[in-house]
Structure 1
């Protein structure tokens, strides 16, 4: 039987704001919870051991490569030496092929390059869950089919790439405004808040509607041409 319990995620990121943003992303994906947020490699290793000793081991580590006290690859190697069952996903702006090759050889299963939208982040987590579930149950030995299915989960790619001209960072920023607003917002209101043109913001809002992340409706009672407002679904 597949392991359907909530997966505990350890976030290792030296920028506090980015770390909290990743933690917020984790909380938004059903079936995942934040085990801890660590701002350095040393803190991550200590917290990882503490959680294991407490009987609440980490399932997934989200690991930045450029940390203040060490390189992410060194942290990954030290985690690997602990004979743990945790999977490591690199989340970093580092694009050097040698680092990526080293990450794979170190046991890092997925590599997510900054910046990215929430959809890409969510996909990586859900892929990792499918990978883990594909290798769970059925005794100590795997079948060829179970191995193939588990590995195919890591290779899946998003079926909805961003339309030409849209930027992942801006999409996530616009999404955050709509998502965090207590009332529906218009393109003009979002644009004013983000210092972007109404036309630009409207393209992102329409993409959210097309991907069923937001709903659109006419705003009644406004003079002149009809204005639309958007709310998070």
Structure 2
């Protein structure tokens, strides 16, 4: 199962697999041995491990000042465990059994969450306003369950969302900039941006400056801020 989840992770743009661990002891060892310049940012955690409970692992990590994020991937459904997970900072809770699409959706929502918090250059000390906080937590709660128009792919749509979020709410992003960030053509990027605009997630604005015609840029819509 861990091998299957690892394969799913490698298929999500924006994530790099750091490794797998089958026990609490192996997980602690892997986290401690992670390079200082490439720390583990996210742990996908089963709560039922052979040598201990997953939440006990999280408690020990928090006591050791580890500040990474945790997504619970588990069949544990009791309310006590869910409340404990929330209190320990588990950002998502995915119940088994689930489909690969559901798994990847959780990861995409997590990446949106990180993009909202680090979109202005990644400075952890940068002050946030209420809109920043609301957008970040809304990213974790949002769902991609609605059917997309023909020809649109969910993974690319999520990449476009992250590219706009990374540009920041004040700067916005043009179709060309989004295309470069996502590795698509400008025409493709513009199609996704227009879809998000029609859905009410983005707004069009004119960008002035330089020579030539003003360029259209896309920003988060007011009701999403």
Do these two structures clear the TM 0.5 threshold for a shared fold by scoring above it?
yes
Query: In structure 1, what is the equivalent of residue 66 of structure 2?
Result: 84
Partner-residue secondary structure (3-state), 2:18: strand
User: How many Å separate the matches in 2 of 1:67 and 1:89?
Assistant: 15
Q: Tell me, yes or no, if the aligned pair for 1:80 and 1:107 is still in contact at 8 Å.
A: no
> In the TM superposition, what is the alpha-carbon distance from 1:85 to its structure 2 partner?
3.6
Matched positions, count: 143
Question: CA distance change for structure 1 residues 38 and 68 in 2, over 3 Å: closer, same or farther?
Answer: same
Query: In structure 2, what is the equivalent of residue 24 of structure 1?
Result: 7
Return the TM-score normalized by structure 1. Answer: 0.58
User: How many Å separate the matches in 2 of 1:122 and 1:49?
Assistant: 27
- What 5-or-longer segments of structure 1 have no aligned partner? 1-17, 162-233
**1:18-39 Cα deviation digits (max 9, x unpaired):** 0000001001111112101000
Instruction: Please point out which of 8, 26, 30 is paired with 1:47.
Output: 30
Instruction: Please point out which of 102, 114, 120 is paired with 2:96.
Output: 114
- What 5-or-longer segments of structure 2 have no aligned partner? 148-225
Q: Tell me, yes or no, if the aligned pair for 1:120 and 1:158 is still in contact at 8 Å.
A: no
> In the TM superposition, what is the alpha-carbon distance from 1:82 to its structure 2 partner?
3.0
Larger radius of gyration: 1
Return the TM-score normalized by structure 2. Answer: 0.60
Instruction: Please point out which of 16, 28, 44 is paired with 1:33.
Output: 16
Partner-residue secondary structure (3-state), 1:73: helix
User: How many Å separate the matches in 2 of 1:126 and 1:102?
Assistant: 24
Aligned pairs for 1:171-186 (under 5 A) are none
User: How many Å separate the matches in 2 of 1:52 and 1:61?
Assistant: 16
Query: In structure 2, what is the equivalent of residue 144 of structure 1?
Result: 130
Runs of 4+ in 1 over 3 A off after TM superposition: none
The two structures, once aligned, show a CA RMSD in angstroms of 1.6
Query: In structure 2, what is the equivalent of residue 130 of structure 1?
Result: 112
